[in-house]
């Protein structure tokens, strides 16, 4: 089937157009940029995150670099979107829905965990983005807002837990994985 797809593009003369559209980057990320030497006919081999020894570990340094150049920016952008979504949810829980409760106690840790979990599930780019955004946020909270180092340490623990949970379980439910940080009562998120 892959040969038929490739030959169809050669026949139509679209191969040059594909190269131009991808700026010289390979479209064969799933086989480390080498469709001749590596095959994955069932589409079952994962090639990112060291989740399978046959995948990420087997790739050469240049193949890993090529993968990260092709996929990491998109994963990082999607991870940043996950952070933005959880920030909005946290703001709503504090200022709109939770106004009558003066917010829910401990909700901050739940949203930290959720944002990191969802971003890490995106792949290496999302994982790195979650690390950078979390560290930046904690720096801001300590140095600009004046939060204590102890509060920052508890936030970082929630960040690390969410990040490692999302990374180790890419198809899991982050709400369940971060359930230990979820406030009690009628918390709507």
Say which CATH number the domain at 176 has: 1.10.132.110
Q: Is residue 10 part of a domain?
A: no
59: left (phi > 0), else alpha (psi -120 to 50), else beta?
beta
The confidence score (pLDDT) of residue 22 equals 45
Q: Is residue 50 part of a domain?
A: no
Domain containing 136: what range? 72-181
Q: Nearest-5° angle of CA 122, CA 80, CA 150?
A: 105
129-172 pLDDT tens trace: 899 999 999 999 999 999 999 999 999 999 999 999 998 999 99
Mean of all residue pLDDT scores within the chain: 73
The confidence score (pLDDT) of residue 4 equals 39
Q: Is residue 142 part of a domain?
A: yes
24-69 pLDDT tens trace: 555 555 555 555 555 555 555 554 444 444 455 566 777 767 766 7
Cα separation, 50 vs 48, in Å, equals: 6
Place of tokens 């920016």: 73
CB-based contact 189:89 (threshold 8 Å) = yes
Q: Is residue 43 part of a domain?
A: no
Q: Is residue 93 part of a domain?
A: yes
CB-based contact 167:127 (threshold 8 Å) = yes
Q: Is the pLDDT of residue 111 over 60?
A: yes
Tell me the pTM: 0.63
Provide the domain count of the chain. Answer: 1
Contacts of residue 33, Cβ cutoff 8 Å, sequence gap at least 6:
26, 63, 66, 67
Q: How many CB atoms lie within 10 A of CB 167?
A: 22
């Amino acid at each position: 089937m892959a040969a038929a797809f490739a030959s169809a593009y050669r026949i139509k003369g679209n191969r040059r157009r594909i190269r131009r559209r991808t700026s010289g980057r390979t479209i064969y990320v799933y086989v480390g940029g080498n469709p001749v030497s590596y095959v994955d006919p069932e589409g079952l081999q994962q090639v990112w995150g060291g989740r399978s020894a046959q995948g990420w570990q087997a790739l050469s340094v240049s193949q890993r670099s090529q993968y990260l150049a092709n996929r990491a920016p998109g994963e990082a952008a999607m991870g940043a979107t996950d952070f933005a979504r959880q920030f909005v949810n946290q703001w709503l829980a504090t200022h709109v829905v939770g106004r009558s409760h003066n917010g829910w106690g401990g909700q901050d840790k739940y949203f930290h965990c959720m944002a990191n979990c969802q971003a890490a599930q995106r792949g290496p780019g999302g994982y790195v983005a979650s690390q950078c955004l979390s560290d930046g946020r904690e720096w801001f909270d300590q140095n600009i807002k004046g939060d204590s180092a102890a509060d920052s340490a508890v936030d970082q623990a929630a960040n690390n837990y969410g990040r490692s949970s999302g990374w180790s379980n890419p198809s899991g439910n982050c709400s369940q994985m971060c359930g230990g940080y979820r406030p009690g009562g009628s918390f709507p998120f």
